Amino acid sequence: MERPRVVMGYCPFCKKHQELDVERAKKRKASELKQGQRRFRRVTRGYTGFPRPKPEGREKPTKRVPIRYRCKKCKKAHLRKGIRSKKFEIAEKQA
């Protein structure tokens, strides 16, 4: 799926429609201080095994792609619900 580099869309910070730069959001390193991670570390400590059964079946054919929209006016970014796609690319700038 190919997306344009710039789209017109609603900026929740300016509270009106503006030109938005489209970029793919990168996954950040998960925090070790989150409750789920603390619980996981506690359960897997010691001689016991993995706390949950391994998922069965195959992977889904598509992945959800998170897209970040950055307002050209106020320079603030926001995310929308990710789009499912096998292949994702952002169109190069037009000359």
Per residue in 24-45, pLDDT (tens digit) is 998 889 899 999 999 999 988 9
Which residue ranges form the domains of the chain, and what is each CATH number?
Answer: 1-26+61-95 (3.10.450.80)
pLDDT of 94 reads 61
User: To which H or E segment does residue 2 belong?
Assistant: strand 2-3
pLDDT of 1 reads 87
Threshold 0.85, pTM exceeds: no
Per residue in 64-88, pLDDT (tens digit) is 999 999 999 999 999 999 889 999 8
Average pLDDT over residues 57-62: 87
pLDDT of 95 reads 47
